[in-house]
Amino acid sequence: MTAHDDRGPWSRSGLVKNGVSSREIPGLYVSEDHSIEECVKHLEGITKPTYSHEEIFGQYCHLGEYIHVPVEVAFEYAANVYSLEEWTFSLRSLHHIGGGLYKGKEFLAKDTSIYVRAEAYPDSRVVDYPCAWDQGDELWMRYHFRFVDARPTIRKPGTIVLWTNVKHPYYDRATEELPDYISKPRARTDRAWVGDIWPHFDAIHKIEIANLKAILEHRYSKL
Amino acid sequence: MTAHDDRGPWSRSGLVKNGVSSREIPGLYVSEDHSIEECVKHLEGITKPTYSHEEIFGQYCHLGEYIHVPVEVAFEYAANVYSLEEWTFSLRSLHHIGGGLYKGKEFLAKDTSIYVRAEAYPDSRVVDYPCAWDQGDELWMRYHFRFVDARPTIRKPGTIVLWTNVKHPYYDRATEELPDYISKPRARTDRAWVGDIWPHFDAIHKIEIANLKAILEHRYSKL
C-alpha cells in the first residue's frame, strides 16, 4: 500500500519529524507496546467514579449544548458581537470604538467596562470573543466557540455548540508581576474581581448557553 | 452612542430576530431581572463540589492540554492525517482510498478497519477527524480539535489544544433503527464495539493527548 501514501491530500513524508521517529520518543503509550487487554485495564485505572470541581473546572471550563436550529443560523447569530447583549447575563451597551474593538458595560460588577471583539471564521464556524474587563489593550479573557452540524454528530437536525474558556493567570489573585492595567483594577475593593467568579464559570456559562439556546430556538420556531 | 452602532464590523440591525425581542422570550436569566447578589447565590446553587463520571462525560468528552511548541507547529502536524499513526493508541497503516478518505487498521479491536478524513482549517486552526470503524459511508465518530495560541490565552509560549467528542447514538448498544452497516458490525461477538469504550473515552484520549504533547515537544526541543 506504500505506493498510495502520497496520492491523497496528505503525505507521510510531509510530517515534520526533525529526524526523530516516534518510536524513539519516551513516554508514549501505544498499541505496539500494549495489548488490548492491558490497555483496557489501564483505562479502567484512569477512569474515576467521581471528580472534584477543581479536577474538572480548575484550568478549563468546557461546555457543550444541543440547539434545535440549523448550524448556519446559530453561527450567524453568535458571530455578530451584538448577540452578546441578548444571551450573556450582563454584557450590555456595546459600541464600536475602532478597529473592530467594542466597548460595553459589564453589569456583573459595579462601574465596570468590558472590551470585546467577535472573531468569526465561517468555514469552520468558529467564533472567538477575546475580551477583558476595564481595558482593551490586552484581551486576556478569551471565549472560544465552535458551531457543529448536529446531523452527522448526533443524528439530529440542528447545532452542537462547543464552548471553552481557559484559566488565564490574571484570573488568579495570587498571580504577581502584573501590568498596572491589571493590578490596579484587580485591587479595587468596591467590586469582586472577575477571577473571583472563576469557580462559578461553569454555572454562569451554563446559564448563558441556555439563554443562547432559548433565544435561537424561540425565534426559529416562530418562522 | 447609538450613532456608532453600525460603524464597526457588526451591526445591531444585522441580528436576525424574526420580530421577537429577547425580552419577550421566556426562560432567560439576565441582569435586567436579577441583581449581582441574586446571581451569585444562583451560581452557588448550580456549582457542585463533586460530579459523577456520567455527569461530566456522559454526552461530551472534552479535553484541553498545554503543548510547549508554537501553535503553527502543532496545527501543521495534526492537520496531516498520518500524524494519527503516531499519537493515537491504535490507528495504523493508513492509505488513501480516494477523495480524501483514508482507510487504516484499528488495533484496539480484532480485525477492524477504520476510515478517516482530516479536515483542516488553517485560519481558525481547527482540525476535524470524521471517522468510523468498519465502513466509510457514514463517518459518525467525529473528533473535533482546535489549536489556540497559548500566549494570549495563558501568558505562556506554545499551544493550547482543545479536543471534543460528542456521543453519537451509534456508540450506544441500546440504539435501535440502525442501518445494516452499523447493526451488523455492532453485533460481532469476536470483539468489543467502539461504544463499549465510551465510558473510557476520557481515559484513552488523555493517553493520546499526552502522546501528542510528548511527540511535539520532544521533536521541537531537538531543533
Whether the predicted pLDDT of A6 surpasses 70: no
Spatial distance between the Cα atoms of B79 and B212, rounded to a whole number of angstroms: 12
Helix runs in B31-179, H state only: 36-46, 53-57, 71-79, 84-87, 150-154
Cell 502522546 belongs to which residue? B211
Whether the predicted pLDDT of A173 surpasses 90: yes
Please say whether the beta carbons of B100 and B130 come within 8 A: no
Query: How are beta strands A141-149 and A126-133 bridged, if at all?
Result: antiparallel
Name chain B contacts of A98, Cβ cutoff 8 Å: 8
Does B54 lie at the interface with A, CB-CB under 8 angstroms? Answer: no
- Phi, psi angles (nearest 5°) of residue B55: -60, -40
Determine, for residues B210 and A86 on separate chains, whether the beta-carbon distance falls below 8 Å: no
Please say whether the beta carbons of B149 and A168 come within 8 A: no
The pTM assigned to this predicted structure is: 0.96
Average pLDDT for chain A:
95
Whether the predicted pLDDT of A55 surpasses 80: yes
Q: Residues B188-218: pLDDT tens digits?
A: 999 999 999 999 999 999 999 999 999 999 9
Mean pLDDT computed over B159-177: 96
3-class DSSP state for residue B92? strand
Percent of chain B with pLDDT over 70: 97
At B3 the pLDDT is: 46
- Whether the CA torsion A187, B66, B132, A12 is positive or negative: it is positive
Does B178 lie at the interface with A, CB-CB under 8 angstroms? Answer: no
B197 alpha-carbon distance from chain centroid: 17
Please say whether the beta carbons of A114 and A133 come within 8 A: yes
Whether the predicted pLDDT of B5 surpasses 60: no
By Cβ distance, the residue of A46, A207, A218 closest to B20 is A218
What distance, in Å, lies between the first and last C-alpha atoms of chain A? 53
Does B139 lie at the interface with A, CB-CB under 8 angstroms? Answer: yes
Cell 445591531 belongs to which residue? B12
Does A93 lie at the interface with B, CB-CB under 8 angstroms? Answer: yes
Q: Residues B121-140: pLDDT tens digits?
A: 999 999 999 999 999 999 99
Mean pLDDT computed over B157-169: 98
Residues β-bridged to residue B132: B115
Average pLDDT for chain B:
95
Percent of chain B with pLDDT over 90: 94
How far off is chain A from B116, nearest CA to CA, in Å? 12
| Three cell numbers, residue A43 | 483505562
Determine, for residues B62 and A59 on separate chains, whether the beta-carbon distance falls below 8 Å: no
Residue of A nearest to B125 (CA): A124
Name chain A contacts of B141, Cβ cutoff 8 Å: none
Question: Could you tell me the pLDDT band of residue A8, with boundaries at 50, 70 and 90?
Answer: confident
Determine, for residues A168 and B146 on separate chains, whether the beta-carbon distance falls below 8 Å: no
Whether the predicted pLDDT of A79 surpasses 50: yes
By Cβ distance, the residue of B36, B218, B223 closest to A108 is B36
At B167 the pLDDT is: 98
- Phi, psi angles (nearest 5°) of residue A187: -80, -10
Please say whether the beta carbons of B133 and B109 come within 8 A: yes
Please say whether the beta carbons of B154 and A156 come within 8 A: no
At A7 the pLDDT is: 74
Spatial distance between the Cα atoms of B88 and B207, rounded to a whole number of angstroms: 8
Does A151 lie at the interface with B, CB-CB under 8 angstroms? Answer: no
Determine, for residues B90 and A46 on separate chains, whether the beta-carbon distance falls below 8 Å: no
Question: Could you tell me the pLDDT band of residue B8, with boundaries at 50, 70 and 90?
Answer: confident
Determine, for residues B203 and A42 on separate chains, whether the beta-carbon distance falls below 8 Å: yes
Spatial distance between the Cα atoms of A105 and A92, rounded to a whole number of angstroms: 5
At A3 the pLDDT is: 46
Spatial distance between the Cα atoms of A114 and A131, rounded to a whole number of angstroms: 7
E-assigned strand segments in chain A:
50-52, 60-67, 91-98, 101-106, 113-116, 119-121, 126-133, 141-149, 159-166
At A33 the pLDDT is: 98
At B6 the pLDDT is: 59
Question: Could you tell me the pLDDT band of residue A201, with boundaries at 50, 70 and 90?
Answer: very high
Determine, for residues A211 and B28 on separate chains, whether the beta-carbon distance falls below 8 Å: yes
How far off is chain A from B183, nearest CA to CA, in Å? 15
Question: Could you tell me the pLDDT band of residue A5, with boundaries at 50, 70 and 90?
Answer: low
Alpha-carbon distances of B195 from A30, B88, B91, B96, B182, rounded to whole Å: 20, 17, 16, 26, 12
